[in-house]
Structure 1
């Protein structure tokens, strides 16, 4: 007899609203019901999404209750309710809890029968804060190493949000883009293509204890990049999708459905914004599926300067321009791929331009820079993932202006392969230095270390701090702060 299934059947037969025993009294078998932890995300001033998944069940539908409190022991209850989950959504649970207070820390938990989930902590969007603090992350490949950076973020006091800029998962099969010698092999054991495949991969990632801890400690604001679908995705295809892998549209829809099932975000238009009173507007862009056309093949491909070449699409571009006119002091852009010019041909002659970045979509890139100049939009900060490297730019778009129009901070990878995974470290450090003479607007580059970026926004300045972990191949490493940069309000100048 499957003992955990029997327990589950007895549990769901109980009235969910009844008073349950404390979480620590639940059996080990019952605890398997919440083996993927809890999460929260997309905070607004009066609401936040809370998430969990009911595991180890084959029931058609499962009633799940939830509770939100201002106290960690739930001695005071702010909101309670019951919802249902089922196989059609992979037994994931998302509740948009409303009626909350702005800028308030809350605790939440779920319950199935007599079994409680772990307790999560979250925070609603602040409207009158003197400062905001965000952790910025990108590119977490399960096979390349441990998610130590996530664990270190989890240890911090509650943040306004963790901003995830994409590549939350990777689509490759075991060993195709990873170091399986550390024992972290992708499941399923092939490149993911179907709904079942994507669900299995997300379920694997969400068993990671550091990822669970980060989700349980802070609200999440996420955007997808390409590996949530396939490498170098655009609207109608991807570099890593071949004809013998089936219909791309079906694969894309499976990937999108799974993303919305497993991430604590609202469903609908993926690009969206979050208004933190008069202090900051956080603008999250969709640079993959909303309007991106197929990238150019290289620097000499005339497609780069084609008027129809688009990263955002016409609708999102107009929306973005309107968001840049926000009355908030700071405009923080959740941006997947590098925006600033980067002259890399003298450094990487075989890779003179990254056409998957904004440099491959020059018409639209130039239009945004021109709009910022024409409208005199101040305090624009691009946050960028994708490159598996750290960057600090005074944003130069040379086709438009010789002066910086914004600043840009690129966060390194959490665990995906950086340049030192391919070449000796001394070679990588020498490569970093070769960038500076050709890019005076570049203030910092680190091509080797893994970690995350902390961004603190206050009325007078924005501060970016680069944190790195000292061990990717073993769990439980330490972190250190390597660099701090500041941008004074009213300027696009970076100082240490």
Structure 2
């Protein structure tokens, strides 16, 4: 990721340069801040704040003021400063605000060209909390439906973070993997290949009011999956990249640069990282796409299927994962995971594809190595995206142990197509039953509803409460009653769960 240093934000903390209340447009006027505000990567004493400025006319650079306060009226600004942004970073602004208090809510805003940005709300990582709450999300396809689930998350009381597990955008041309009949056509009007293409698509997604509201309401912790680059991507290629589309390495660099420009995350050579929340939890975010994933195989009969040279994480990240878990003093070790880790036998559902080769099941040697390692640790929770379905599973890896090695909660899609939207409702319901009947460690499978789950961590229990929206094809749809599952401290078995219907 050698290009990152070329667009690191130049930060100068200038005490006393906070925006004045005079000569400022109304707060409801976004002015040049058309893509809202965001925050992310909370630590005990700092958090990233983000915005983007849209210049009124071509400009070489733009000066942007920022300020952070403990109250939304900014009567007492704790810290303020200015940054300079330019076209080289797509006029995005990112500030790593330091010297903050642990577990404390803050408000922030920016000013440029005589206008204040919308006000954002954020929170530093809590070091001594009795309870933590995270919204867990993935797979938001702009064309396939409205981001109503994001709106519902925005309405929640301040969360410790929104954990986004990838597929924040989709790279396809209009109609390539969506339904344009509701009027949400992808921009630009072709598949993403260049830096300009990716920037335009992020700008479109970040113009969505529901996504803006969620970002402005809670801090963000994010990882990419494949569609931020191209479908089924790995380190040296992707299913959705063909030879006539130019250099894959150039495309990958463009996608990675844009991700770092537009997401409220720290600049680093590695995207995998962890976040500590005192003795209660550590959130470990993995990169299962670009860091070390080798090429997939076409079937389990491939002679290389079980080769130890095939990898999901790569040697460095695998070593880091082990040392992070081993060194963690947290009660709950939560692994932010793009693709399903637990065994799933899908023979009865897809006879020609008994294993999902894009998931950990497609990399059996490394999966077994990870499973053998976590076998010795309590309270391993996998939170997983990618599948456009909800899963609640005891983590079984049969080649290592028939006893659960932890618990895995899979989050539904925000708006990307579910099984019923391809196969029909009756078929999807049949699939749900087959998955559970032939995989007894799967305690819940929902292949038809869109939404998210809230993960609440307490000393004695981890609870996943699933929320689903009733219709993603219309804006502002209702949210149904939640479905709740939990696991007790030290017992990786889902023994108690309540399921509530709409």
Common topology (TM > 0.5): yes
Task: Indicate how the Cα distance of structure 1 residues 391 and 17 shifts in structure 2: closer, same or farther if over 3 A, else same.
Answer: closer
Task: Look up the SS of the partner of 1:199 in the other structure.
Answer: helix
TM-superposed CA distance for 1:24, in Å, is 5.4
Q: For residues 25 and 458 of structure 2, what CA distance do their matches in structure 1 show? A: 41
**Equivalence for 1:313:** 314
2:70 aligns to what?
A: 70
CA distance in 1, matches of 2:212, 2:19: 28
Q: Are 1:243 and 2:228 counterparts?
A: no
- CA, structure 1 residues 362+143, in 2 after alignment: closer, same or farther (shift >3 Å)? same
**1:331 maps onto 2:330 in alignment:** no
Give 1:323 deviation, angstroms. Answer: 1.2
Structure 1 residue 260: Cα displacement: 0.3
SS of aligned partner of 1:479: coil
Paired position in structure 2 for 1:409? 409
The question of 1:97 aligning with 2:97 is answered: yes
Residue 108 of structure 1 deviates from its aligned partner by 0.1
Number of the residue aligned with 1:21: 22
| Matching residue of 1:436 | 436
SS in 2 for 1:315: helix
Distance 1:353 1:435 in 2: 12
Measure how far apart 1:348 and its partner are. 1.4
- Whether the 8 Å CA contact 1:202–1:262 is kept in 2: the answer is yes
Which residue of 333, 343, 346 corresponds with 2:345? Answer: 343
State the shift of 1:21 in Å: 2.8
TM-score, normalised to structure 1, is 0.95
Q: 1:126 is matched with which residue?
A: 126
Secondary structure (helix, strand or coil) at the match of 1:305 reads: coil
Structure 1 stretch displaced more, 112-121 or 272-281: 112-121
Shift of 1:22: 7.6
**SS where residue 225 of structure 1 aligns?**
coil
Structure 2 CA distance for aligned equivalents of residues 76 and 157 of structure 1: 23
**What do residues 233-268 of structure 1 show as CA deviations (whole Å, max 9, x unaligned)?**
000000000000000000000000000000000111
- What secondary structure is seen at the aligned counterpart in 2 of 1:244? helix
Secondary structure of the 1:480 match is: coil
| Equivalent residues of 2:31, 2:117 under 8 A apart | no
Structure 1 CA distance, aligned partners of 2:459 and 2:293?
34
Q: Whole-Å Cα distance in 2 between the matches of residues 146 and 336 of structure 1?
A: 22
> Match of 1:219?
219
User: TM (normalized to structure 2)?
Assistant: 0.93
Does the 8 Å CA contact 2:17/2:80 hold for their aligned counterparts?
no
Alpha-carbon deviation of 1:73? 0.5
**Pairwise CA distance, 1:23:** 5.5
The aligned runs of 1:166-245 (5 Å cut-off) are 166-245=166-245
**Which residue of structure 1 aligns with residue 296 of structure 2?**
295
1:20 touches 1:114 (CA, 8 Å); kept in 2? no
User: 1:15-94 maps to which residues of 2 (within 5 A)?
Assistant: 19-21=20-22, 25=26, 28=29, 31-57=30-56, 58-94=58-94
Distance in 1 of aligned mates of 2:362 and 2:125: 35
Contact 2:138/2:167 (8 A) holds in 1: yes
Q: How far is the alpha carbon of 1:354 from its aligned partner? A: 1.1
Note the C-alpha offset of 1:116: 0.3
Q: Which has the larger helix fraction?
A: 1
- Aligned-pair CA distance for 1:350: 2.9
- The alpha-carbon distance between structure 1 residues 467 and 26, as it changes in their structure 2 partners (threshold 3 A), is closer
Unpaired segments ≥5 residues, structure 2? 1-15, 498-502
Q: Distance in 2 between matches of 1:68 and 1:313?
A: 39
**Residue 23 and residue 284 in structure 1: after superposition, are their counterparts in 2 closer, same or farther (change >3 A)?**
farther
Counterpart in the other structure of 1:453: 453
Aligned residue for 1:422, secondary structure, equals helix
Measured against aligned partners, the alpha-carbon deviations of 1:279-333 in whole angstroms (never above 9, x if no partner) come to: 0000000000110000111121122200100000000001000111211100000
Equivalent residue, structure 2, for 1:10: none
CA contact (8 A) 1:26 1:114 kept: no
Question: Pairwise CA RMSD of aligned residues?
Answer: 1.3
CA distance in structure 2 between the aligned counterparts of 1:439 and 1:490, rounded to whole angstroms:
23
Cα distance in 1 between the residues matched to 2:300 and 2:481:
36
Partner of residue 386, structure 1: 386
Residue 358, structure 1, aligned to residue 360, structure 2: yes
SS in 1 for 2:370: helix
Whole-Å Cα distance in 2 between the matches of residues 18 and 48 of structure 1? Answer: 21
Does the 8 Å CA contact 2:31/2:116 hold for their aligned counterparts?
A: no
For the Cα contact (< 8 Å) 1:223–1:270, is it kept in 2? yes
Cα distance per residue 1:180-235 (max 9 Å; x no partner) = 00000000000010000000000000000000000000000000000000000000
Cα drift, residue 385 of structure 1: 0.2
Partner of 2:8: none
The answer for the alignment partner of 2:147 in structure 1 is 147
Q: Which residue of 2 aligns with 1:159?
A: 159
